[in-house]
Structure 1
Amino acid sequence: MLLTRTKFPTGPLLFGLFLALATSLSAAENKASAAKKGGVGVTPAESFNVPEGFEVELLYQVPSNSEGSWVCLTTDPKGRLLASDQYGGLYRITVKADGGVDVERLKGDFGMAHGMLSAFGSLYINVNGQPAKGKQKEVKSGIYRLTDTTGDDQYDKVEHLIELKGRGEHGPHALILSPDGKQIYVAGGNTTDLPADVPHSRVPRHWSEDHLLGSMPDARGHNAGRLAPGGWVARINPDGSDFEIIATGFRNEYDIAFNPAGELFTYDADMEWDVGTPWYRPTRVNHVVSGAEFGWRNGAGKWPAYYPDSLGAVVDIGPGSPTGIAFGTGAKFPAKYQKALFICDWSFGNIFAVHMDESGSSYSGSFETFATAAPLPVTDLVVRPQDGLLYFTIGGRRTQSALYRIRYTGPESTAPVAASVDQESQALRQLRHKLESFHGSANPEAVAAAIAELGNSDRNIRFAARIALEHQPVDQWRSKVLALTDPQALIHGVIALARCGEASDASAAIEALTSIKWDALSDSQRIDLLRAYGLTFIRLGTPNDAQRATILAQLDPHLPGKNVDVNRELAQVLIALDADKIAARVVDLMINAPTQEDQMRYAFTLRGHEATWDADSQKAYFGWFQNAAAARGGMSFGGFLSNIRDAAIAKLSDEKKAELGDLLKTPEARDPLADLEPRDVVKEWKVEDLTASSDDTKQAFDFERGKKMFAVGQCYKCHRMSGQGGILGPDLTGAGGRFSTKDLLVSIIEPNKVISDQYGATQFLTLDGKVIVGKVINLAGDRMMVLTNMMNPADQTTIIRDDIDTMGEATTSMMPAGLMDTMTAEEIRDLLAYLKAGGNPSHEIYAK
């Protein structure tokens, strides 16, 4: 939560400013301090936080001047580890009987791998090549096969199986073996071109940007020219033949892994410069199913996770930089960790354990911080079959590299556990697999099977059915989908027709969609309907006047509605149709939206609109940009605001520009607290003051007042509630279901009592006596970038490793105390009810 301005001098300041108040480290606080003064060196094993019963061992500190910085890890059939330097060669690590390791550099001029796989009697590496520099030869990117043909335990034969045009950290990535042991799966980041001649694709090859009102490239120019399909996953035969695209639409998925059931997963990246914008998407774990599209587009164009023509996440993780992943299968760990997916976050220095449950034909998940330290630029990890231990590397971008091992020494059983299988979920997965068998080729049985499941209540099955349909000739199914009477099936059939049909199909598609009764749909189905309209307009053509009138009669009365996501999508379609007074209605939504993300979304949506403005709405619209100057976000946030404003101004006539006058002047950056209404201190609240009254259910709770307190306290800046808000703090939507009233009060009033590893800070004392407290979020060479103000993610402090005297865990939470001291007991009571309800006005707590 964030706080309001107060009239007392000793109260809490802006979120993050308390970080500057730290003084020095006591011996107890310095358990994570460096092994030597004048530079922190490698992260010591004793500095790690891991669950009870686990231990971390530092096995090897990589000499940076000779062995580089390791970013990729795998095992060979003899149980030896193989590691690759990001900019150099390959290294083989033999684990000795006493637990130590021997390291040797493999002979030959190859390396720079982001993916490695020992299989089929060879070592496969996915190389991120480099152009020729001076005397340095060009190294081409792509998949190489290394083979030992002489029996001397060195790879002497090198074959370039597939050239992949892409370099650097968004280039060619992971290589893993298929569950049946017959093929190789490969991942490519969003700057990695697909090969020129791809013989097979499970993703229909008519991918496009698909933005109804256009998009906007990154304000700093990053990937401005990169279009769909984005990052991808494919599979090949051992000789590199039969390249087949499996899924697309990732930003930068570094690694992929199969669970014991043979289902594929990845951990995809965010765009940290977008923090604070409505199109920011947190790092997330995706279930990589056949034919999947995950909606990455450059700049402002990233698709919302709820779009029906893409798939969402198993679990959102938050800001970070995904690197290696591995299931705990075969680990000598307690049962829940054997089943977990371990994922590495390079920038914030975490290894998370993701715990998944079967959910329909897919999975849902939760996660915990499994291992963390600072700095911890963790790059890759593997479970070594020979000892069942988890090995991981840190490094990348020429930072200090090392090899570690995690073992379990606690009392719980580490006996192998079989994967539990829910029979209903298994049956649904089998149905999905049947539909996926039709992906990639025409099959006379596909049409009937696919149409039968377009209305399935399971999202992944609906998706698989539509993709199966799109691989069949349109003439075989056009009339069949248009004849469907189930609204959900009809909507998804029209989406397929919009993606595969021709301009002549537009009238039939619109007629089908306008036959659907809005009131008969759930909110998610309404979003699907709106997306179907959008795709129809984008791909088949805009409606004529008569069609426009019919569509408006169906949709226009429903803006504004109660659902935030529906309002966003409805606003887009109605703006595209120039609905009556649509500008005024959307401006009203923009001004009254509780989060800066939603306000910015509506401002973006209106930037090109010309038809329905009135003078008051136009003044309110451009006045919003003056207020938005107090908002904060990632590195591109301010640039996006400027570009949205410039695009809107470009639509104005000279006469209108003169009329708006000073409102069109470039806004000046302001204190984020400047516009907050000052609130007097009510009381320095204690937990015991509020527990009983907040649990009292004799009086009705006020939803609107609770929501207002959540906004007044600027909680939305860092926390999400019911899909709205920031991502730098934990999502609070489910907090009320997990914690009692007293627990919630303790967390807010006494935030230092329990500090989550994921959101904890590090305290640095430099050699010249400076104290810096914050979260390490990026590294490069000997530099660490530290976020010291959560209100301003673009504001980072650089620390040189050799300038650090000591470092340790900060003992103060990144959430300040005193947040509720300006609220009355009644306001706090309603705020807690709002938290318990997860922001849902229909929750039983509001039954009165």
Structure 2
Amino acid sequence: MGVKQKLLWGLSAVLATAVACQQPQERKLTGNPKIDKLKLPDRFNVEHLYSPGDNKQGSWVSMTFDDKGRLIVSDQFGYLYRLQLPAIGQDSSAFKIEQLNIGPADSTDSVPKVSMGYAQGLLYAFNSLYVMVNHNKDKQFDKGSGLYRLQDTDGDDQFDKITLIRELEGEGEHGPHSIVMAPDKKSLYVIAGNFTKIPEMNSYRMPPSWEIDNLLPLIRDPNGHDNVVNTHGGWIAHIDSTGSSWELISSGYRNPFDLAFNEAGDMFTYDSDMEWDFGTPWYRPTRICFVSSGSEFGWRPGTDKWSPSWPDNLPAVLNIGQGSPTNFMSGGKANFPDKYRKALFAFDWSFGIIYAIHLQPEGASYKAEAEEFLSGAPLPLTDGVIGPDGAMYFLTGGRRLESDLYRVYYNDGKKTGSKETEAPQLTDAHKVRRQLESYHGGEKPGAVEAAWPYLKHEDRFIRYAARTVLENQPVATWQQKALAEKDPATIIETTIALARRGDKAIRDSLLQQLQTISYAQLSTAQQIDLLRAFELVLVRMGEPGAAARTSTIAYLDGHYPAASNELNSPLSKLLVHLEAPGAVKKTVALLETAKDDTTAMKTAMSSADLIMRNPQYGLDIAGMLSKMPPLQQTFYATVLSEAKTGWTPELREQYFRWYYNAFGFKGGHSFLGFINTARKNALKNVSKDQYAHFNTISGDSLLNSNGRLAQGGAQPKGPGRRWQLEEALKVIDSGLANRDFEQGKAMFNATLCASCHIMKGEGGTAGPDLTQLGTRFSSKDILEAIIEPSKTISDQYGATVFTMKDGSTITGRLVSEDDGKYVISQNPFSPQMHRELLKKDVSGAIASQVSVMLPGLINRLNPEELRDLMAYLRSGGNKEDSMFVNPVKIGKR
């Protein structure tokens, strides 16, 4: 299908989609699956404009409009394209597309001299195209990662000049990302992920730090993902239009792709965490962060991410949950109702959701709510922008996936609501914070005096801003003032500042000063701050002298264990690190009995809504929720893994037996590796004659040589491949004689078929009984259902997407209903776990176009293993079937 045909197909579906969005309870399908899978608020319309993959133009991940209203986009692994789009309601004849090739102004060659692309950030500003290349140089594309400026110097409407503004060290999905215009319209901001080294800056709002700053034993990702990344995390910098001046604004993220400003000119970003860490105490949900001056958000490798409650980093204004953040933008220029023009829009690639983030000032920061604005499955969202026509344009694709361009508009697309959205009324605390931030970025007269009274302010963001002022000033100008301080809250903040910026010679003095604070008179939040101050002194300044160690242990030990996990976590770290008498005994007791906080459990359980939106990621959530790991116990086990003293034989028995049980829990891809690494670290502290015993009782026999759980039955030997239907069918059609029944049954289990399907009375119940499969379906039918499970979905076992009256959607398999409610199942691994939806809260429902079955389940199999599996399926699990008359022995092939 050609360009204009694809465009016309998208445009022809608009009217039907508009009706569907206005009356979701009577939603009708348009016949265009790219449109029908989308959910939008009432009166919003959507057009599918273009599919670059159909025209061999790659998978698009970034976009911007130029000064002539044309859209410029980039293929993730290819080049730039410029599109002239038809106006809303216009036919497809106005559509044009060209690949952008950049040559020198005096070039007369028909072949371009230079190509540009591989961009994860694009911005047209200052009569130039800024391009953030995310790619290591190679023979195909000689532009390395960095920020480039493209200009048209001869007025022929083609870029002919390329200027490398700044080379950046980092690439890939965690490399350098977006470029955004500053609110002053005179400068720019750039953002990068945690694989990108912070380049040397001209100035810093907060003196940069590469310190991990955590006493919890560091276990990097067991699967090797973050083993070579920078410890400072992702970062944001402010630059001028020429890129000659760079200022570091914020750091400590994992992988934020984009940033946006609200009407007040405050900056926000949408950050991720590692989904492989799901089920661990150091996992943090994807979150919206208010990016204040000099802010730090505490990302560190592996186990050592900072708690959001620690005072030396800042908390999110909103935790969203599982996902993979990509685009983040303001709706301020959209022809949308005021509610959405005031919103920020956050794109989630994994689960296909655009959230509208609604902000309200609160103290010196904000509070926020997320509304599901647009969603679809699958819908791998990559980038978005508000066009000059006030419509929202967005892309899907990335990782060479099928890519599409869409347009969303309200009503007829014309201007609606007030002419300009009003900036929010800022609080007094907000104004104080901004005044303090004016002292950030270097030595400034009067800074210490201006900041000091606010070190004890009740607002956390003000305290943070005040302490950042101190850390920007020479330590000699405020150290003695800090050591003479008597106010408890001020002592805590100045100790943190001195631990980070001061000389190690004052270490014991700082510990003694902290002990002058009455712990019992502090609030819980202040107690957390105090314990963090102790930790920073130890981790930054080293081991205390004997007297300071003894007094510190005595001060802390009297408060351990505490009544809450948020206090026991830092207390356990501190006391085990200091080798306090009784610390191991107390911590092992907590290991046996600790219960997770309600908030932590609620955050985990809320992810059940995502399971059926994307089986590739959702099944990991399903597995975890079917056997949830104990988060707090995992934390204590990791703390104890470095304890060398304080053990008795009985305590070691308790401790190592905990691991045996822990291997039975489910978590993200790295959960098992974290547990096993902590176990191995702990085994280093036992005597050689006891090693074998504790290795055995801690579950070594449960693991294979790769550190994964040993599976019952034979596992695929491979090598596997990405099976396609035609190739797989040729393998099966070549013959299914003399197959191995036992290996076929083992492959049925190894490919997770038995988790959801019954065969001869055994297996899961989330999918249909497969015992009669071979009598009803051909080999092609069976293979197609395995390889392309979403092509045909049984109405009995498919999921339903319920649109709620609050604008959210909930996906699950409908189990039953009555006059007042729907009963759904959201977890194929625990189908007996049901959720009730009151019909009065539901505005509409539509069948999901995504199967709950994960595609690619047979990709671990070699041809012989695939034949055995197919024979097992075709036979209905019948060992006496003629296909198994002369079975080949396992391992003989």
- Fold match (TM-score > 0.5): yes
Q: Name the SS of the counterpart of 2:208 in structure 1.
A: coil
Contact 1:117/1:176 (<8 A) preserved: yes
- The one-letter code of the counterpart of 1:118 is Y
Residue pair 2:264, 2:423 contacting (<8 A) in 1 also:
no
Residue identity opposite 1:362 in structure 2: S
Listed as ranges, the matches of 1:484-633 within 5 Å are 484-595=485-596, 596-633=630-667
Match of 1:125 in 2: 131
Q: How many angstroms apart in 2 are the aligned matches of 1:345 and 1:209? A: 28
Q: Which residue of 1 aligns with 2:829?
A: none
Provide closer, same or farther for how the CA distance between residues 345 and 749 of structure 1 changes in structure 2, counting only shifts above 3 A: closer
**1:649 match:** 683
* Cα distance change, pair 395–660 in 1 and its aligned pair in 2 (3 A): closer
2:144 is aligned, of 140, 143, 161, to 140
Q: CA deviation at 1:657?
A: 2.7
Offset of residue 102 of structure 1: 2.9
Q: CA deviation at 1:587?
A: 1.3
% identical equivalent positions? 41
Report the more deviating stretch, 100-109 or 368-377: 100-109
Match of 2:38 in 1: 48
- Tell which deviates more after alignment, 94-103 or 162-171: 94-103
In the alignment, the residues of structure 1 paired with residue 631 and residue 322 of structure 2 have an alpha-carbon distance, to the nearest angstrom, of: 16
SS of equivalent to 2:379: coil
Superposition deviation, residue 650 in structure 1: 0.8
Q: CA deviation at 1:455?
A: 0.9
What's the counterpart of residue 347 of structure 2? 344
For the 8 Å contact 1:185–1:234, the answer to whether it is kept is: yes
Alignment partner of 1:333 is 2:340: no
CA distance in 1, matches of 2:120, 2:193: 11
1:358 lines up with 2:373 in the alignment:
no
Give the superposition deviation at 1:647: 0.2
Residues 1:604 and 1:339: Cα distance change in structure 2 (over 3 Å):
same
> Do the aligned residues in 2 keep the contact of 1:129 with 1:138 (CA within 8 Å)?
no
Aligned to 1:694: none
Q: Specify the SS of the correspondent of 1:160.
A: strand
Taking the aligned partners of 2:324 and 2:147, their CA distance within structure 1 comes to 24
Aligned letter for 2:660?
A: Q
> Is the counterpart of residue 238 in structure 1 residue 218 in structure 2?
no
Does 2:237 match 1:223?
A: no
Which of 96, 109, 118 lines up with 1:112 in the alignment?
Answer: 118
Measured after TM superposition, the shift of residue 416 of structure 1 is: 2.7
Distance 1:473 1:375, change over 3 A: same
Distance in 2 separating the partners of 1:82 and 1:249? 31
Q: Are the aligned partners of 2:362 and 2:427 in contact in 1 as well (CA < 8 Å)?
A: no
| 2:192 is the alignment partner of 1:188 | yes
SS in 1 for 2:686: coil
Task: Note the residue ranges of structure 2 that are not aligned, 5 or more in a row.
Answer: 1-24, 103-114, 597-629, 703-708, 712-809, 812-819, 826-832, 862-893
Uncovered stretches (5+) of structure 1, i.e. residues with no partner:
1-27, 36-42, 672-728, 731-741, 765-771, 777-783, 787-794, 799-848
Aligned position for 1:816:
none
1:58 paired residue number: 48
Determine helix, strand or coil for the equivalent of 2:511.
helix
Partner of 2:98, secondary structure, is: strand
Amino acid at match of 2:119: A
Residues 304 and 32 of structure 1, relative CA distance in 2, 3 Å threshold: farther
**Which shifted more, 68-77 or 745-754?**
745-754
Is the 1:32–1:48 contact (alpha carbons within 8 Å) kept by the matching residues of 2?
A: no
Q: Within the alignment, does 1:368 sit opposite 2:368 as a pair?
A: no
Relative distance call for 1:95 and 1:203 in structure 2 (3 A) is same
| Alignment deviations for residues 730-775 of structure 1 (CA, whole Å, 9 cap, x no partner) | 9xxxxxxxxxxx99999996536569999999465xxxxxxx416x
Code of the residue aligned with 1:88 in structure 2: it is: G
* 2:61 equivalent to 1:71: yes
**1:549, CA displacement in angstroms?**
2.5
Q: Report the Cα offset of residue 626 of structure 1.
A: 0.6
CA contact (8 A) 2:71 2:83 kept: yes
8 Å contact 1:71–1:393 — kept in the other structure? yes
Cα contact 1:306–1:312 (8 A) shared by 2 = yes
Q: Distance in 1 between matches of 2:146 and 2:834?
A: 54
Q: Offset at 1:414? A: 3.0
- Quote the residue 1:789 is aligned against: none
SS where residue 314 of structure 2 aligns?
coil
Cα distance between partner residues in 2 of 1:572 and 1:797 = 42
Task: Using the TM superposition, give the Cα deviation of residue 214 of structure 1 relative to its aligned residue in structure 2, in angstroms.
Answer: 3.3
Instruction: Indicate the RMSD between aligned Cα atoms, in angstroms.
Output: 3.1
SS in 2 for 1:588: helix
Q: CA deviation at 1:191?
A: 0.9
Which letter maps to 2:481?
A: K
Q: Do 1:335 and 1:416's aligned partners in 2 also have CA atoms closer than 8 Å?
A: yes
The one-letter code sitting in structure 2 at the alignment partner of 1:105 is: Q
Q: Which moved more, 1:750-759 or 1:427-436?
A: 750-759
The yes-or-no answer on 1:178 pairing with 2:168 is no
C-alpha distance in 2 between matches for 1:96 and 1:411? 13
Aligned to 2:277: 274
- Offset at 1:383? 1.2
Cα distance in 2 for residues equivalent to 1:450 and 1:759: 55
Summarize deviations over 1:289-335 as a string: whole Å, max 9, x none: 11111111111111111111111111111111111111110212222
Report the secondary structure of 1:63's partner residue: helix
- After TM superposition, give the deviation of residue 165 of structure 1 in Å: 1.4
Equivalent position of 2:451 in the other structure = 450
Asked if structure 2 preserves the Cα contact closer than 8 Å seen for 1:276 and 1:597, the reply is yes
SS of the aligned residue for 1:351 comes to strand
Tell me, what secondary structure is at the counterpart of 1:454?
helix
> In the superposition, relative to structure 1, how do residues 566 and 279 fare at CA in structure 2: closer, same or farther (>3 Å)?
same
Q: Residues 372 and 757 of structure 1 are in contact (CA less than 8 Å); yes or no, is this contact kept in structure 2?
A: no
Q: Return the alpha-carbon distance in structure 1 between the equivalents of residues 281 and 501 of structure 2.
A: 29
* Equivalent residue number for residue 416 of structure 1: 418
Change (3 A) 1:594 1:744: farther
SS at match of 1:751: strand
Of structures 1 and 2, the one scoring higher in RCO (CA 8 A, sep 6+) is: 1
Rounded to whole Å, the distance in 2 between the matches of 1:436 and 1:163 is: 29
1:358, distance to aligned residue in structure 2 (A)? 0.7
Displacement of 1:410 in angstroms is 9.3
**CA–CA separation in structure 2 for the residues paired with 1:397 and 1:556:** 51
Deviations 1:571-615 (A, max 9, x none): 111111222211121111111123411111110011010111122
Q: 1:346 to 1:745 in 2, by over 3 A?
A: closer
The one of 149, 158, 173 equivalent to 1:169 is: 173
Shift, 1:52, TM fit: 1.9
Question: Distance between the aligned counterparts of 1:419 and 1:516, measured in 2?
Answer: 48
In structure 2, do the counterparts of structure 1 residues 183 and 412 end up closer, same or farther at CA, with 3 Å as the change threshold? closer
1:695 maps to what in 2?
none
Which of residues 250, 254, 279 in structure 1 aligns to 2:253? Answer: 250
Q: Which residue of 2 aligns with 1:381?
A: 384
- 1:67-87 per-residue CA deviation (whole Å, 9 max, x = no partner) reads 111100111222222111111
Residue 282 (structure 1) shift:
1.4
The alignment's TM-score, normalised by the length of structure 2, stands at 0.71
Match of residue 404, structure 1, among 406, 409, 417: 406
Distance in 1, matches of 2:375 and 2:222, equals 33
Question: Structure 1, residues 440-486: CA drift from partner, whole Å, max 9, x if none?
Answer: 21012111112111111111111111111001111111121223322
**Aligned residue in 2 for 1:96:** 86
Measured in 2, the distance between the counterparts of 1:364 and 1:299 equals 29
For the Cα contact (< 8 Å) 2:286–2:325, is it kept in 1?
A: yes
* Alpha-carbon distance between aligned partners in 1 of 2:386 and 2:674, rounded to the nearest angstrom: 43
Q: Are 2:303 and 1:300 equivalent residues in the alignment?
A: yes
1:183/1:238 contact within 8 Å kept: yes
Number of residue pairs aligned between Structure 1 and Structure 2: 670
Provide the C-alpha distance between the structure 2 equivalents of 1:670 and 1:416, rounded to a whole number of angstroms. Answer: 63
Residue aligning to 2:601:
none
